[in-house]
Structure 1
């Protein structure tokens, strides 16, 4: 995880949980295709990160799981 997000431990807990869930379910190679979402997280723009996740083919495929992950990313700490 820290290879992708060097400051992973500094992210809000809800965002860390969402990212762990995504990587676990997608696998690292597929997760790395979410380039805009990854950059948004690195920039701490969690609304954009949620938007990028929501507008992905993955989200259209898994629906419920995606909605839960988006809620986690958008949750205020």
Structure 2
């Protein structure tokens, strides 16, 4: 699934859901292509997902586990 920003309000013909302007929705690329074909390209724009910098480390809790072991001794 990919994320898209709704640029113009529209109703999905399959789900009957109404998507309002300036909201982010998830749908398959294939479904987004159908929307673009049935309406036009001005209704949706794909949102680039933010990817983490591989050089930064996430805090995975290892330090906290080590601290707990030290307190137990």
TM class, shorter-chain normalised?
Answer: 0.3 to 0.5
TM-score (norm 2): 0.33
Indicate the structure with greater strand content.
Answer: 2
TM-score (norm 1): 0.32
Greater share of residues in helix: 1
Whichever of the two has the greater Rg, that structure is 2
